Amino acid sequence: MLHIINKSPLSNSSLESCLRVAVSGDILLTEDAVYAATSGNAFEAKLREAMGRFKVYVLQPDLDARGLGDRLMAGVTSVDHGGFVDLTISNNSCQSWL
């Protein structure tokens, strides 16, 4: 399953809920959720721990739009819009966490 999160973990609990409830799959961070994939943020340790169960992706255009392109955590894979489409195709289902 592809878990899509678009809210910052600093102001919303959708990523934390996903990590607590979901068992496995791919996580795609878009929009303000890309802050979770940056080095030095308050959520970094939780995301690193989750990387044992999930493959984590970030939408590169959203990362770049926020000026965070050089702060991507090791182990997180960036994708463009075509990569987003590929993730939706390669997963059986998608869950958007609100």
pLDDT, tens only, 49-91? 999 999 999 999 999 999 999 999 999 999 999 999 999 999 9
pLDDT band at 96 (very low <50, low <70, confident <90, very high): very high
pLDDT score, position 73: 96
pTM for this predicted structure: 0.95
pLDDT, tens only, 12-37? 999 999 999 999 999 999 999 999 99
Residues contacting 42, CB < 8 A, separation 6+:
9, 10
Residue 37 exposed, middle or buried by CB count within 10 Å (0-12, 13-18, 19+) = buried
Q: Does domain 2-97 have CATH number 3.40.1260.10?
A: yes
